[in-house]
Structure 1
Amino acid sequence: MFQALSSVLFPVILVAGLGALLSSRFPIDQGTISRITLYLLSPALVLDVLLKTPVQVGEALHLGVAYAVTLLACLGLGWLCGLGRPGLTQRSYSASVGIWNSGNMGLPIALFAFGQAGFERATVLFLASFVGMYAVGPAVYSLGRGGMSALDAVKDILRLPAIWATVLGVALRLLHVPLPEGLTRGVSLLAQATLPMVLLALGLHLGAAGRPRVNARLWLASGARLIGGPVIALGVGRVLGLDAQNLAVLVLSASMPTAVNALLIAREYDADVETVAGVATLSTLLSVVTIAGVVTLLPTLTGAPLHP
């Protein structure tokens, strides 16, 4: 447990912790940092990995299907956590459990735990979650409510640069068209800045949010996210026949805390922002222990060895 905590989580905790310290001492414009990450760095990472990753299209689709099934099951689990609460609050619990942090924490932890091969597969999940977050997330809040059509949701998805970077990267791979060396190096340079920036962004959010007002349902939803998520992923991955490496990366990804972007989506759709913020903060703090446990158990549960 200590080895998993120190070698895998400590680098993540260090960078995010520095961000939290900075945010607690100085006023930081988190909106600007989020836009830089969302509209510039994340698309560069997506394109860079799509052009370089050896993951085959069939393998990526298999992993993407496993993610989608896990996502739907986690949304249902979160819905159960919110039973008896008003409609928007119940939807917020569903989103809190179903939308996890496959980017800010999932990518670097996969890199530290499984090396480059694990990072490449985690990026496939990141791509799937990116689309899922901005397609399923709005649907959770808008389905059955007036004011937003399916066409509006599609437009929101299509305006995200990472979506177009995905299309471009897939097209270049299929057509075997290389980018000019100078452009490739520029994209790689931006991609290398993504992980430190997203970890800092996570820390900035935690430092500004302060201590959440904890209640029994927040504990329940956080447990559903951190424990129920990997259990569901393990079952889904085995049923769908994922190999050891892909299964391990899926389970690790599903053990991540609630994504900060879930809070942004809740605010955009006038949902229960306080509930989502509480689950995001509490699950992130608790994940220091639970992720270490998951990393320690992964070789036994999946047969995939950890990166030395």
Structure 2
Amino acid sequence: MLDAALRIFSIIFPVFACSALGAAYGYFRRPDMAVVNRLNMEFFAPFLVFWALMDKPFDFLAFRDLTIGGVAVVLGSGLLLLPLAWLFRINLKTFLPPMMFNNSGNMGIPLILFAFGESALQAAVVLFIIEMVLHFTVGFYILNHRTNPLHLLKMPMIQATILGLLFSSLHLTLPDALANTVKLLGQVSIPLLLFSLGVRLLDVNFRDWKLGTLGAIAGPAAGLGSAFLIAQWLELSATHYALLLVFAALPPAVLNVLVAEQYQQEPDRVASIVLLGNLASLVIMPAILWFALPH
């Protein structure tokens, strides 16, 4: 049991330590992270996605059930929490997006990488892409029915995904010099995602702590409930099942705050949900890893 606890600590510590260092630096320096975040999402992270997909042959059939499971977790979380939102008379546009769209980038990819090793990077990227595509389609549609899904094609992340899948399916490779450059640029993304998360969380508040506490419990519960329900109908390997559980329990994405600000959809309340959800993950994620990882 002690060995298992130490293993989970070694997985969790780098993730939260990088975020804590970001928060500490942000507290004293108050940096403007807008340019850094944009650079990461439009440059470094696409290199990470491209490298993860093209580095090894991408087996579409091997990820079929995991993909279905990821979609079910995101959409199922929203469906399961609809009655709760109606019961407490919470604005659906405020409450549901943070419950559905989780931190699969800032926290999910590093956590899976540390917990399951580099062999799980493709699966982590697949889940990240699922969450991101649904966020920029279904999530934006929840807030504004006039959202055009075709705008996704303009996103560097989607372009990198398409290019990576094309390289993998056609068994194309890059010369070692270029491949190492792509890998190096992609590796910048993970610590920068965690550092940015820590800085960003300084800007949110505890004003709506009751709603935030409700979301911190309800979000992972709905995600895990969706994962358990859909897993009965899927043929998931033990590793993919564990990855799906980790994905299902992740806290709300910080991007929910930025989107709420863009659409003027009670950004302060959304920020409270996101902050408390990420703080609660200090307890929730070790418990999920304890359950999901082989002992």
Bin of the TM-score, shorter chain as denominator length: over 0.9
For the pair 1:173 / 2:165, whether they are aligned, the reply is no
Residue in 2 that maps onto 1:302: none
Percent identity, aligned pairs only? 28
Residue in 2 that maps onto 1:216: 210
Letter paired with 1:75: G
Residue in 2 that maps onto 1:188: 183
* Distance (whole Å) between structure 2 residues aligned to residue 139 and residue 4 of structure 1: 41
**Secondary structure at the residue paired with 1:57?**
coil
* Distance (whole Å) between structure 1 residues aligned to residue 49 and residue 57 of structure 2: 14
* Distance (whole Å) between structure 2 residues aligned to residue 187 and residue 124 of structure 1: 18
* Distance (whole Å) between structure 2 residues aligned to residue 235 and residue 165 of structure 1: 32
* Distance (whole Å) between structure 2 residues aligned to residue 135 and residue 242 of structure 1: 26
1:175-201 Cα distance to aligned partner (Å, 9 max, x none): 222223332222111111111000001
Residue in 2 that maps onto 1:202: 197
Letter paired with 2:176: E
Residue in 2 that maps onto 1:106: 108
Coordinate RMSD, CA, aligned: 1.9
Alpha carbons of 1:207 and 1:56: their partners in 2 closer, same or farther (altered >3 Å)? same
TM-score w.r.t. the length of structure 2 is: 0.92
Give how far 1:166 is off.
0.8
Residue in 2 that maps onto 1:69: 72
Alpha carbons of 1:126 and 1:249: their partners in 2 closer, same or farther (altered >3 Å)? same
Give how far 1:65 is off.
1.5
5+ residue gaps, structure 2? none
For the pair 1:225 / 2:230, whether they are aligned, the reply is no
TM-score w.r.t. the length of structure 1 is: 0.89
For the pair 1:34 / 2:37, whether they are aligned, the reply is yes
Letter paired with 2:244: L
Letter paired with 1:165: A
Question: Out of 271, 282, 290, which is 2:276 matched to?
Answer: 282
* Distance (whole Å) between structure 2 residues aligned to residue 272 and residue 206 of structure 1: 17
1:81-120 matched pairs, under 5 angstroms: 81-83=84-86, 89-120=91-122
* Distance (whole Å) between structure 1 residues aligned to residue 255 and residue 155 of structure 2: 14
Give how far 1:171 is off.
1.1
Give how far 1:55 is off.
4.6
* Distance (whole Å) between structure 1 residues aligned to residue 176 and residue 51 of structure 2: 12
Alpha carbons of 1:276 and 1:260: their partners in 2 closer, same or farther (altered >3 Å)? same
Check the 8 A contact 1:50/1:166 in 2, yes or no. yes
1:90-148 Cα distance to aligned partner (Å, 9 max, x none): 222110100001111111111121112233311211121121121121011123xxxx2
